[in-house]
Structure 1
Amino acid sequence: MGEAGRKRGRAKGSRKRKRDGDWISDLPESLLCKVLLNLPTKDVVRTSVLSKRWKNIWKCVPGLDLSGEDIKMYYIYVRFVNRFLKFNRKYHIESFKLSYPGDGNCEPELDLMKRWITTVIQLKVKNLEFFDYSWANGTFDIPPSIYTCNSLVYLKLSTVTMSTVKSVSLPSLRVLKLSAVKFADHLDFETLISGCTALETLVISYFDRVEVLRVCSQSLLSFTHVAHKRYFTHVGHKRLAEEDLSIVIDAPRLEYLKLSDHQTASFIIKNSGSLVAVDINIVFNLSFGLDPRDLPKRSMIRNFLVGISCVKNMIISSITLEVIYDYLRCEPLPLFRNLSFLRVKFYNYSLKMLPTFLESCPNLISLVMGSTKKHNMKEISLFSRPQGFLPSLEYVEIKVPLKGVVVEIMKLVGYFLEKSTILKKLTLCLDDSRKTGETFIRKELLTIPRISTSCQVLVL
């Protein structure tokens, strides 16, 4: 067969694959490797049985994803990983995801994983994830070579211990996620952050408590902090109580801030002029309410509220609103002049503080209220005094996944219909258990006066 015949044969085969829906096999090998890089390694290897074209493509995928495997699969992969890393000695590794499912007591296994991590760092890995799911969480020491990996762009670590920091140079790191990670002290954490000169996203969850957690970065755009549920911790030989804990954020380019923490007593935000969106679920460790005589606490809350007052989008918990309501008895709230979207997450249904907060949002356009959790409560505590009008509010959505509070829900709906002068749409989202009372709710809606003549009310 001549060259022309072979070309016609390849073209015919290509047309047949397209006719059969197999467009992927016609993609360039480099693009196929990019696609396979997003799959677990065991699925990548399975593609070798698809056809001759696919037989060896998996060997060229510049990454491994061995996360989420059980201990039996771990032992199967040991030889495979060794061979893969040896095969790729001359190449760069894009991604390496690994989890350890053992009991944490096998030194050869731990040493092997450390060697793997060290090897991929030498191979200029860009994305690195490691999870220690063993029974001895937090005992795995990350090799110190990770602090000077110039190629690293994305790093995610869970339940590990960081080696003592001497110097850090991570000029390419843009995303850092730490979950239940232990440091020798808070200075090691601060040194790590200062060495990430291009860091844009920082996520800290279930962090080992330190007296002061400082997040200082000139490049950071997004910061998320989710607190550990423990009320006490140890730093050296010192036992830290909740009132000792403080978080200081100094990131002048920060645009997004999420705080979910009921133990930390003090939150200090510096240089917050770039903030656009916040997600706040904090109580400043005020288990028994704010003491008006506690002037340092009042000053800290005032500065925090001023620090977030420039945002355009806000998600806030009802628990945090209750703290703000207590604060309001002592001092006036700052105005949230830029706030156009507000979502209120309910963990209980005391709404007496909501109208007062809305009065501090003179340009609010959209409000979403509700919870995705089921609640079985007998009443909703509503407003105790006349409230002012809502001159800018255009859209309200109320999600109601609870039982036994139909009358109170209608009071809430009535408040928005009677106070929102330019309201365009109010949407009441009912869960399945509430559907049976939909007819009653629709009848009640007809009896509520509306100050906005163009308002549309939807019941879903």
Structure 2
Amino acid sequence: MDDCSKDVINGLPDNLLCQILSNLSTKEAALTSLLSKRWRYLFALVPDLEFDDVFSLHPQDKASFIDFVDRVLELRGKDHVNKFSLKCGDGILDEDVFPWISNVLRHGVSDLVLHVSPALVYWLPSKVFASKTLVRLKIGPEDGPRVKLRNVCLPKLKTLNLDSVVFEDGEIGFAKLLSGCPVLEELGLRNLAWVYWDSCSVASKTLKRLRLCCTDYGKSPKSVSFDTPNVVHLEYSDYIAHKYPKLNLDSLVEASISFRITEDQRSNVRNASDGDEETEMVGNAKRLLMGISNVKILHLSFDTLETLNLCCEVIPIFNNLTHLTIESNPEVGWDTLPGLLKNCPNLETLVFQGLLHKATDRCGDVCVCQGLDSNPCSLSSSRVKFIKIMIFGETGDDEMEMKQIKHFLAKMPNLEELTIYYNTSIEVDMVHLSSQLQMLPGVASLKCKIQVISDNLSLSITFPISLSTGFALII
């Protein structure tokens, strides 16, 4: 750097230099203290503080890390802290962490991220849940802290993410937390061990986005309720609950559902007869679907398909659904798809994340296996206009995938566009696939266009389904 450049930088005001330093981690910004006397303490004035010691292995590194955090907070004095992110592993004790948290809370922190995995179980300071300035709070993951809530008052909190946090009072403590967040808009919950609670109820009138994942325990929760009338986006991944007493999701627009059953439940379902206790679980699978049946965009995992194959013969009607994504798996059949497509009268876009699935005699006319229970109208009566095939070519069975694509083209009269995302780095493969698709006989919709896309090649080939010999090549 020449002298002129140095003079320009040194001539900048402190607040602008701090803004530049905010693009670095706190550790990197601290290196600028070696430049000159003016820079010696400037890094500590940056409003966003991020400390990461997760990968430190030696005790001396831990001691150095503790000294570094202490020093930075001391240099800041009473200056406002916008964000405080702390990530540290074993070797950092409560007596080290608590003063840091108390310090930034006193100085009006609005964004707090705590990823602390001490050697011993630790309790999170209750003052974290009585902050008048916090807007975003993220706690976890792994070996999360224990929380015993007294008074919860988080009047400005809009985003809350909890991973592996243990509530000492179980569902009572969790309910108390939500009730103390009057403007909460986004909630993420992961592995809260609510399988051990008598019930879990997510109740919030202000919540708009909700993410729940609790799949590490291998058992079903007893009772799950959603009293969230303003949620528009839901991601739900869990073992199917024994009960869903309340499902208030009236504003739901988009949902991603991944629910599964335990091995014991799977065995019981296969051996069950009418009237067995597993019938209750079957009803709950249907009840959950009914609770989200007003959704417009829906993603179903292969675990969900398997559960529905086993447990839900009657699919609710999804009158508002226009966009459906199906995740396929070679071990899971498409038994549910005929009924699902039939009960989505306004479906326009159908996305398949993979095409390979288990061949059964219950797929109807949705797939090429066409079993004994074939329903001839599930595809031919479908209003679907757009099909997207993701990850074509990843399974190594291109021939079977190609048969399935041809089947769609032959059966769906309203199809306007079929898009294939081809996982290939060979341009010749793209051209060969396009040539095969272009000259298909007996297609149901001559107005359908086909697009083959390779992100690896940044290449797209688009052509109409017709007897013409040319196609457009778009780079």
Moved more, 93-102 or 62-71: 62-71
Partner of 1:163: 147
Deviation at 1:156, TM superposition (A): 0.9
- State the alpha-carbon separation in 1 of the partners of residues 33 and 441 from structure 2: 66
Q: Please, which of 220, 223, 230 is the counterpart of residue 217 of structure 2?
A: 230
Match of 1:274 in 2: 251
Q: Deviations over 1:163-193 (max 9, x none)?
A: 3112100111111111111111221111111
SS of 1:99 mapped into structure 2 = strand
Indicate yes or no: 2:407 matched with 1:415. Answer: yes
Q: CA, structure 1 residues 97+403, in 2 after alignment: closer, same or farther (shift >3 Å)?
A: closer
Distance 1:300 1:230, change over 3 A: closer
Give the number of aligned pairs: 423
| C-alpha separation in 2, matches of 1:92 and 1:317 | 45
Are 1:287 and 2:266 an aligned pair? yes
Contact kept in structure 2, 1:141 and 1:160, CA below 8 Å: no
Structure 1 residues 443-454: aligned runs within 5 Å: 444-445=436-437, 446-454=439-447
TM-score w.r.t. the length of structure 1 is: 0.81
**2 CA distance for matches of 1:390 and 1:383?**
16
SS at match of 1:120: helix
Alignment pair present for 1:65 and 2:50: yes
Deviation at 1:133, TM superposition (A): 3.2
Q: Secondary structure at the match of 1:142?
A: coil
Q: CA deviation at 1:270?
A: 2.3
Q: Indicate the SS of the match to 1:311.
A: coil
For residues 376 and 274 of structure 1, do their structure 2 counterparts lie closer, same or farther at Cα, with a shift above 3 Å needed?
closer
Matched, 1:115 2:99: yes
Partner Cα distance (1:423, 1:381) in 2: 18
Deviations 1:272-330 (A, max 9, x none): 1111111111025442347553443343223211211111111111221233344453x
5+ long unaligned stretches in structure 1: 1-12, 232-241
Question: Counterpart amino acid of 1:394?
Answer: K
Distance 1:364 1:263, change over 3 A: closer
Q: TM-score, normalised by structure 2?
A: 0.78
Please tell me whether the aligned partners of residues 177 and 203 of structure 1 are also in contact (alpha carbons under 8 angstroms): yes
- Opposite residue 42 of structure 1, the aligned amino acid is K
Structure 1, 361-370 or 174-183: larger mean CA deviation: 361-370
1:455 aligned residue = 448
Secondary structure of the residue that 2:266 maps to in structure 1?
coil
1:287 maps to a residue whose letter is R
Spell out the pairing of 1:6-405 with structure 2 (5 A cutoff). Answer: 29-30=14-15, 32-34=17-19, 36-37=21-22, 39-48=24-33, 56-69=41-54, 70-71=56-57, 72-103=60-91, 109-136=93-120, 139-158=121-140, 159-184=143-168, 185-209=170-194, 210-211=196-197, 212-231=199-218, 242-262=219-239, 264-267=241-244, 269-285=246-262, 286-288=265-267, 289=269, 291=272, 292-293=274-275, 294-329=278-313, 331=314, 333-348=315-330, 350-371=333-354, 382-384=369-371, 385=374, 386-388=376-378, 389-399=380-390, 400-405=392-397
Give the structure 1 partner of residue 466 of structure 2.
none
2:285 maps to a residue whose letter is I
SS at match of 2:308: helix
Post-superposition offset of 1:455: 1.0
CA drift of 1:410 comes to 2.5
1:370 deviates by: 1.6
- The alpha-carbon distance between structure 1 residues 397 and 200, as it changes in their structure 2 partners (threshold 3 A), is same
Query: Per-residue deviation at 1:459?
Result: 3.3
Counterpart of 2:456? none
How far residue 390 of structure 1 moved from its aligned partner, in angstroms, is: 4.9
The 2-side partners of 1:455 and 1:51 are apart by 67
- Greater CA drift, 294-303 or 450-459: 294-303
Offset of 1:195 from its aligned partner? Answer: 0.7
- 1:428 paired residue number: 420
Q: Deviations over 1:3-55 (max 9, x none)?
A: xxxxxxxxxx9xx76xx9x9998876445534544532112223445688756
SS of 1:261's equivalent in the other structure is strand
Judge conservation of contact 1:367–1:397 (CA < 8 Å) in 2.
Answer: yes
After superposing the two structures, state which structure 1 stretch, 24-33 or 66-75, moved more: 24-33
Secondary structure at the counterpart of residue 74 of structure 2:
helix
Q: Do the aligned residues in 1 keep the contact of 2:116 with 2:144 (CA within 8 Å)?
A: yes
Mapped to 2, the partners of 1:38 and 1:430 lie a distance apart of 37
1:10 paired residue number: none
Amino acid at match of 1:43: E
Partner of 2:458: none
Change (3 A) 1:271 1:352: closer
Once residues 417 and 12 of structure 2 are traced to their aligned partners in structure 1, the CA distance between those partners, rounded to angstroms, is 48
Q: How far is 1:453 from its partner?
A: 1.6
Tell whether the 8 Å contact from 2:129 to 2:153 is kept in structure 1 after alignment: yes
Q: Tell me the secondary structure at the aligned position of residue 105 of structure 2.
A: helix
- CA-CA distance at 1:218 after TM superposition: 1.4
Measure how far apart 1:265 and its partner are.
4.0
Quickly say closer, same or farther: Cα 1:355–1:429, change in 2 above 3 A: farther
Q: Distance in 2 between matches of 1:49 and 1:87?
A: 16
In structure 1, C-alpha distance between the alignment counterparts of 2:352 and 2:17, rounded to whole Å: 44
Q: Distance in 1 between matches of 2:61 and 2:431?
A: 56
Other-structure match for 2:465: none
**CA–CA distance in structure 2, aligned partners of residues 224 and 367 of structure 1:** 23
Q: Indicate the SS of the match to 2:63.
A: helix
Following the alignment from structure 1 to structure 2, what is the Cα–Cα distance between the partners of residues 256 and 351? 26
CA RMSD of aligned residues (A): 3.4
> What's the CA shift for 1:132?
2.2
Alignment CA distance shift 1:63-1:281 (3 Å): same
